[in-house]
Amino acid sequence: MKRKHNQITDQRFIDTFLGKSRIGRLATIGSDGYPYITPVNYVYLDGLIYFHCARAGEKLDNIRRESRVCFQVDQPLAYLDLAFADNHEKPCAVTQFYHCVIIRGQAKVVENIEEKVKALNALVSSHQDDQQHFEEITEQTPPVRHCEIVAVRVESMTAKSELAQKKSPEERARIATYLKQRNLAGDAETAVLLYSEDE
């Protein structure tokens, strides 16, 4: 990774981030040689990425022809606008704060019915809150036969965040104060993260 100061090496953070996120972007290799990117609902389970899809389609055709894939998950945080810089003549002063994970791996359609059912239950459960209950999916549940589950086995993984790591503690505190006062969606969370960089 070029910008080492942005790199995340804490595997627990990465696992938690992947576990709480719901949508990722899958890149497969198309028959024409071009990358083909699609957003998918996924679940991170036992170190693998699982997602469901229709039993036919370009994404699945690509995977069956070439199993190498890339999978990306991001979380946009606050956006630092020009009002903070107080200088509208310097557009490069704007900054998007974020977390991001990029995975390279091998994708394969899950043939084992027990693994398929386990992944489907985990996928549904990940989209419910603790107070919501659902009827457990079994091998006899009709939709099990009408969809595919794909597992992505991770071969390499990189993660990074943009949280003004190159700024001084004083500058990060100034940004955090601005974000708390601005109070747009994501500002409060980002302010806390900026302070935590100094701990």
Rounded CA gap, 141 and 12, in Å?
A: 34
State the pLDDT at residue 93.
74
* 106 and 174 co-located in one domain: no
Give the type of residue at 1.
Answer: M
State the pLDDT at residue 145.
83
* 158 and 172 co-located in one domain: no
Rounded CA gap, 98 and 79, in Å?
A: 9
* 145 and 174 co-located in one domain: no
Number of domains in the chain: 2
Pairing verdict, β 23-29 and 68-80: antiparallel
State the pLDDT at residue 184.
94
Within a 10 A sphere around the Cβ of 97, how many other Cβ atoms?
23
Residue 124 maps to which CATH number?
A: 2.30.110.10
Rounded CA gap, 71 and 53, in Å?
A: 15
Instruction: Classify residue 8: in a domain, yes or no.
Output: yes
Domain of residue 118: give its range.
Answer: 4-162
Beta bridge partners of 162: 98
Rounded CA gap, 51 and 87, in Å?
A: 45
State the pLDDT at residue 88.
53
* 102 and 172 co-located in one domain: no
pTM of the model: 0.87
Rounded CA gap, 115 and 171, in Å?
A: 49
Which residues in the chain come in under a pLDDT of 70?
1-3, 86-91, 129-132, 197-199
Spell out the SS3 assignment of the chain.
CCCHHHECCCHHHHHHHHHHCCEEEEEEECCCCCEEEEEEEEEEECCEEEEEECCCCHHHHHHHHCCEEEEEEEEEEEEECHHHHCCCCCHHHCEEEEEEEEEEEEEEECCCHHHHHHHHHHHHHHCCCCCCCCCCCCCCCHHHHHCEEEEEEEEEEEEEEECCCCCCHHHHHHHHHHHHHHCCCCHHHHHHHHHHCCC
* 42 and 133 co-located in one domain: yes
